[in-house]
């Protein structure tokens, strides 16, 4: 039973890592405004990250042309990941 929980915790950790990379890609994509926003890959990245980012935009609105919400979201996601994965590993 313990090895199954290990696989589950590892899968949760990997899911957080994948989402972190999606946020990083989203930040990088914002530097290239001429990209086609209707391309399926770009749309997927925006649709999967926007619900999380909007939480931070409500608290930290863009300052001029600079949006700090993805940076704050990135750090909060890392904190949540460390808390959840750390707690789950301790339970094992």
Per-residue model confidence as pLDDT tens digits over 11-57: 999 999 999 999 999 989 988 889 998 999 999 999 999 999 999 99
User: How far apart are the C-alpha atoms of 70 and 22, rounded to whole Å?
Assistant: 11
**pLDDT (mean) for 64-77:** 89
Q: What is the pLDDT, as a whole number, of residue 1?
A: 59
Q: Which two tokens mark 49? A: 């990250």
Domain boundaries, the chain: 2-91
pLDDT in tens, 75-90: 999 999 999 999 988 8
Q: What is the pLDDT, as a whole number, of residue 33?
A: 85
Q: Are 22 and 45 contacting, i.e. CB atoms less than 8 angstroms apart?
A: yes
User: How far apart are the C-alpha atoms of 44 and 47, rounded to whole Å?
Assistant: 5
User: How far apart are the C-alpha atoms of 29 and 26, rounded to whole Å?
Assistant: 5
């Amino acid at each position: 039973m313990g090895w199954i929980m290990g696989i589950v915790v590892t899968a949760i950790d990997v899911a957080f890592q994948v989402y972190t990379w999606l946020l990083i890609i989203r930040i990088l994509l914002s530097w290239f405004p001429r990209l086609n926003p209707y391309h399926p890959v770009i749309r997927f990245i925006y649709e999967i990250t926007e619900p999380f980012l909007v939480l931070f935009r409500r608290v930290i609105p863009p300052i001029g042309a600079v949006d700090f919400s993805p940076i704050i979201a990135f750090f909060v996601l890392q904190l949540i990941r460390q808390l959840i994965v750390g707690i789950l590993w301790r339970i094992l």
